[in-house]
Structure 1
Amino acid sequence: MAVTLLQNYNELKEKLAQHERVMLLKHSLTCPISSGAKQAYESYSSETETPMFMLNIQESREFSNQIAEAFGVKHESPQVLLFNRDKVTWNTSHWHIKEEALAKADQ
């Protein structure tokens, strides 16, 4: 599946209503660690049926803050969140964002 860019919190809420499980990458456009995480995330997207989304921190900082507040998960970047229905059931950040970690969490 392709990774789709989300622009705002309402789009995320729509995706959570449509799908049982959703993965989201909070990505920094200027961070080399985030660039590597994005590559792993996009590569993994071809191996899963879980819908995968992304937000660019610099373009959607308020959106990122809304996620942290609404779901009680401390903001980090890069960061991957796995949603089951309307709860974050797993998250990881920085160098831990690897295809193997995504696959294990997505089982």
Structure 2
Amino acid sequence: MEWKSLTTSEQIEQIKQDSQQHPVVIYKHSTRCGISSMVLSRLERAWNSHEIPLVDAYFLDLIRYRDISQLVATTFNVQHESPQVLVINQGTSVYDASHTMVSYPKIKEQVVDLANS
């Protein structure tokens, strides 16, 4: 899988714009958390770009970019968690999951459903 690093507030605006055309995934990762590392590893092993239609996937290091992490929570009206995944569509978060509830099958289901609607 090919992550785009989420490091600026301008990217959040771009994500909102891009999500008008196709779903966007944001993964919020804590480099200090063993659960976050386990979830990231599991997600990367399972990710299959052929199963999911056009989707941008952003990686947010929330320790390094704490202010961006808070802006994501505020912009998309989700409580900050770590690890956390959000699926953005039409400028809003249509799905979020945290901790061990983050799973590739659920993300895939959300993205495919959006692509087929």
Bigger Rg, which one: 2
Alignment of 1:14-93 (within 5 A): 14-19=14-19, 20-43=22-45, 44=47, 46=49, 47-48=51-52, 49-93=54-98
> Residue 3 of structure 1 contacts residue 45 of structure 1 at CA under 8 Å; is this kept in 2?
no
Q: Could you say which residue in structure 2 is the equivalent of 1:13?
A: 13
One-letter amino acid of the counterpart of residue 42, structure 1: E
**CA deviation profile, 1:69-100 (whole Å, cap 9, x unmatched):** 12211000000000002100000010011222
> How far apart in 2 are the matches of 1:105 and 1:37?
18
C-alpha RMSD of matched pairs (Å): 1.6
| Displacement of 1:45 | 5.4
| Displacement of 1:42 | 2.5
Q: Mean Cα displacement is larger for which, 22-31 or 11-20?
A: 11-20
| Displacement of 1:12 | 2.3
> Which runs of 4 or more aligned residues in structure 1 lie more than 4 Å from their structure 2 counterparts after TM superposition?
none
> How far apart in 1 are the matches of 2:100 and 2:72?
21
> How far apart in 2 are the matches of 1:31 and 1:14?
28
Q: Work out whether 1:96 is the aligned partner of 2:101.
A: yes
> How far apart in 2 are the matches of 1:29 and 1:69?
22
> Residue 24 of structure 1 contacts residue 80 of structure 1 at CA under 8 Å; is this kept in 2?
yes
What's the TM-score once normalised by structure 2's chain length? 0.82
Q: Identity of aligned pairs, percent? A: 27
Q: 1:42 to 1:11 in 2, by over 3 A?
A: same
Q: Could you say which residue in structure 1 is the equivalent of 2:115?
A: none
| Displacement of 1:15 | 3.0
What's the TM-score once normalised by structure 1's chain length? 0.88
Structure 2 unaligned segments of length 5 or more: list them.
113-117
